[in-house]
Amino acid sequence: MKIYILPYFVIISILNTLFAQENKIDILKGIITGNVISATTNNPLKSVTIKIEETKLGALTDAQGKFTIKNIPAGVYTVKFSILGYETYSQSNVIVSTAMPIQLEVQLVEKVIELEGAEVRSSYFIRLSEAVSSTQTFSGEEIKRTPGIGEDIIRATSLLPGVGVTSAGRNDLIVRGGAPFENLFIVDNIEIANINHFGTQGTSGGPLSLINIDFVKNVTFSAGGFGAKYGDKTSSITNITLRNGNEESFGAKAVLSATGFGLNFEGPISNNGSFILGARRSYLDFIFKAAVFAFIPEYWDFIGKARYKIDNNNSLSFLTIGALDDVSLNNEKLDNRFKNSTVAVPNQKQYFSGLTWQHLLGNGFINVTLGETYSKYSTFQNDSLLNIIFKNNSSESETSLKSEIDLMISPKLELMFGNQLKWATNLAYDILIPGFMRTDSLGIPSELVIDTNFTGYKNSTYASVTAGISNFKISLGGRLDYNKSLEKHWYISPRGSVLYQLNEVSAFTISLGRYYQSPSYIWLLGGSPEKLNSIKSDQIVLGFDHTPREDLKVQVELFYKWYDNYPARLYRPTAVLAPSGFEDISYEIPFGLEPLTSKGEGFARGLELFIQKKLSEIPVSGLFSLTLGQSKFKSLIGNFRPGSYDVLAIINLACAWRINNEWEISAKFRYNTGLPTTPFFTEGENIGKLNFSQYNEGERLPSNHSMDFRIDKIWNLKSFMMVTYVDIQNLYGKKNVSAVRWDYRNNVPKYSTSFGILPSIGIVAEF
């Protein structure tokens, strides 16, 4: 660890001397600029009062909702936004630098419930109209400095109540007992099947998010109970909104982080728009090659976004994000060939892009997004003699057209309706699994050879109405989904929620709904004797929210989910389908490429506690989350068994202390009980194979816990800002167990463990 820490403090000492000399010359100042809109109608808000807390600086928005505040001493501030008829909002963690102007894009929420005699108080938390329960929102700046997550958006959500991960090195989210394939990811109104580098086909997990945190405005995460606007997933939504480029000046940023380096550029387009461009490359391949590792990963990702305002009521926004993932193998030594023979090698190319037109209506807006997603997978596994034992060369592309109208009929009545058409334009698969790697319930080999392509078609129509009545906010809605590839084509999903505002600081909530999810495309290729149906999940969430301070929130929720039509496995009749990441296909049939039937059942239930403190005049922020839960599933044979992601308890504690405008220290602790396992046969002709007669009834993995620690330092010169940090993951070096694997050399099961202590340093330079 000293190899990492010593250079960091040497850099700190040198920079401190240089920057101290500069700071003697002048007080360094910056600019805050931005715009304020209605969260419901997306129309600009005029005459919003903006005040920088603990200063005398402020501004009013103009007719276009824009504002500028100049001559702000460089530092970290809270900015307060207020106007009659809207909830007063305070945005914390606004870092004013001497580089580019800070651009804020703020949505204010209309007051649907008016309490007589209630004190007018600001809130550091936003409750959007479609989110009554189970929803949290974080800014990109908050995520960026969270220790131990490597500036990864998806890892940051794992701190929230109800959320676990399959292992420390992956982003396979377990949300309220659901499998990773049950999670929906949306980026600027585009739905993404898998948002990770080296992503696992047919599900949503992977080792690292491909979204560049520098371009993230905020992330809204919902663990369930979401409204009719969202569908085709049964567990969670991660809605990522990217910020627009700086409209005031051109700027650039260079980033050196724990896993890679990158360059970002942004600036105005004439007087009516802006752009952002970014590219990142990992450098792990250089380190792994130098260390003569057997498995050498490399990735690139790219982002481009442009927004142009045609006139006061019309704007266009274009986004494209791409990723290139490649793994090379060092098979020079016999030991390396053996190690590589236990890994399914994931090579992948993907991109998604979208063009959005927005038209403002005065009392609402129309959004139309034309999007496309594309993924090309080249996954293979060899034996130690370099013979292919698994091959998957496939591509999946999908074009979507999403149209939505949102209207504020009156100050207390909102109407929303929309439609989304998805056309899978090219689903092409070239797959080989030898028979000895794919056996049925009797142990009979069943080779799978696929060379095919086909198309798919889905459509969703949805609507909701939200009304404020006395102390209540009531939302009712529903969806009508169509999928031509399934046995049953049409699905109706009613949704509803109620919020009762007890007083200005406390509220009760209840959300009920039915949710359907289509099978992943690759599941349709396993030779099922019948067509599958959409997974069904009925959910109820009861909650209580309390905000004793403007910057402090306490939330308690109870949830229950009932599953039906869950994919049950014909070759493993005691098990339902629950894939996450596949590291070695000799343990399991990969990617759902086996006969399935929609006859599985299940349930998940639990209790969650969430406490969050935002940065304010008290320079401490943090969160605490506790989840107690249970999930069980029943397949074709036997009774309900523990689900593959049955985590009984999860505890997260994160805190940060903003010492002053330059220094911040933060720490994070995580604890969770171990996942269920299926034992191996340890003798006989099936030695080394999983004993599915005891599916998920073997020993549980040991409980996992770890602590992460981080120090950030901000430096400002004229027209230049630098951030340096040291981030230490797994501070006390505990090697947590992630799975039980079979040791082919010694013919015994063994634990797979994570790395010990993992320190890193980072440098961010902004011009």
Rank 4-13, 56-65, 131-140 by mean pLDDT and report only the highest: 56-65
User: Which tokens is 388 given?
Assistant: 């292919």
Q: Is the pLDDT of residue 3 over 70?
A: no
Q: What confidence tier does 619 reach under pLDDT thresholds 50, 70, 90? A: very high
What are the backbone dihedrals phi and psi of residue 53, each rounded to the nearest 5 degrees, phi first? -60, 145
Q: Which amino acid is at 275?
A: F
Confidence at 14, pLDDT banded by 50, 70, 90: low
> How large is the average pLDDT for residues 168-187?
91
Q: What is the 3-state secondary structure (H, E, C) of 419-433?
A: EEEEEEEEEEEEEEE
User: How confident is the model at residue 12, as a pLDDT?
Assistant: 58
- Give strand pairing partners of 569: 596
Has residue 634 got a pLDDT over 70? yes
Cα–Cα dist 16/713, whole Å: 10
β 295-309/273-282 pair status: antiparallel
Domain-by-domain residue ranges, the chain? 2-108, 135-766
Are residues 104 and 686 in contact, defined by beta-carbon separation less than 8 angstroms? no
Please provide the average confidence, as pLDDT, over all residues in the chain.
Answer: 91
For the segment 524-540, the average pLDDT, to the nearest whole number, is: 95
Q: Report whether 659 contacts 615 (CB < 8 A).
A: no
Taking only the tens place, the pLDDT of each residue in 312-330 is: 999 999 999 999 999 999 9
- What does the DSSP assignment read for 624-656? EEEEEEEEEEE-SSSS-EE-TT---EEEEEEEE
pLDDT at 544 over 60: yes
Beta bridge partners of 707: 669
For the chain, how many helices (H) and strands (E)? 5, 41
CB-based contact 247:33 (threshold 8 Å): yes
Burial of 578-591, coded b for 16+ CB within 10 Å and e otherwise, reads bbbbbbbbbbbbbb
Q: For residue 362, with 0-12 CB atoms within 10 Å meaning exposed, 13-18 middle and 19 or more buried, which class applies?
A: exposed
For residue 466, list its beta bridge partners: 414, 475
For residue 221, the model assigns a pLDDT of 93
Instruction: Walk across the sheet containing 236-242 and list its strands.
Output: 135-139, 216-222, 236-242, 183-187, 190-192
Mean pLDDT of all residues in 288-303: 89
The overall pTM is greater than 0.75: yes
User: Does residue 686 carry a pLDDT above 80?
Assistant: yes
pLDDT tens readout for residues 576-595: 998 766 667 888 899 999 99
Are 2-108 and 135-766 equal in CATH topology? no
pLDDT of residue 24: 46
What confidence score (pLDDT) does residue 16 get? 59
Residue 746 has pLDDT above 60, yes or no: yes
Partnered with residue 714 across adjacent β-strands are 723
pLDDT at 4 over 60: no
Annotation: CATH topology of 135-766: Maltoporin; Chain A (2.40.170)
Q: Please state which of the ranges 4-8, 227-231, 348-352, 403-407 shows the lowest mean pLDDT.
A: 4-8
pLDDT of residue 122: 78
Average pLDDT of the segment spanning 450-460? 95
* Structure confidence at residue 20 as a pLDDT band (50, 70, 90): low
Q: DSSP letter string over 2-42? A: HHHHHHHHHHHHHHHHHHHHHHTT---EEEEEEEEEETTT-
Residue 510 CB contacts under 8 Å (≥ 6 apart), including other chains = 133, 497, 498, 540, 541, 542, 543
Measured CA to CA, the distance from residue 66 to residue 31 in angstroms comes to 14
* CATH of segment(s) 2-108: 2.60.40.1120
pLDDT at 642 over 70: yes
- Residue 477: the pLDDT is 96
Distances (CA, A) of 90 to 50, 107, 261, 352, 615: 10, 11, 33, 34, 10
pLDDT tens for each residue of 54-83: 899 999 999 999 999 999 999 999 999 999
pLDDT of 7 strictly over 80: no
The 10s digit of each residue's pLDDT in 110-128 is 887 766 655 667 788 877 6
The 10s digit of each residue's pLDDT in 213-265 is 999 999 999 999 899 999 999 999 999 999 999 998 999 999 998 778 999 99
What per-residue confidence (pLDDT) applies to 375? 96
Task: Give the mean pLDDT of 380-404.
Answer: 94
pLDDT band at 130 (very low <50, low <70, confident <90, very high): low
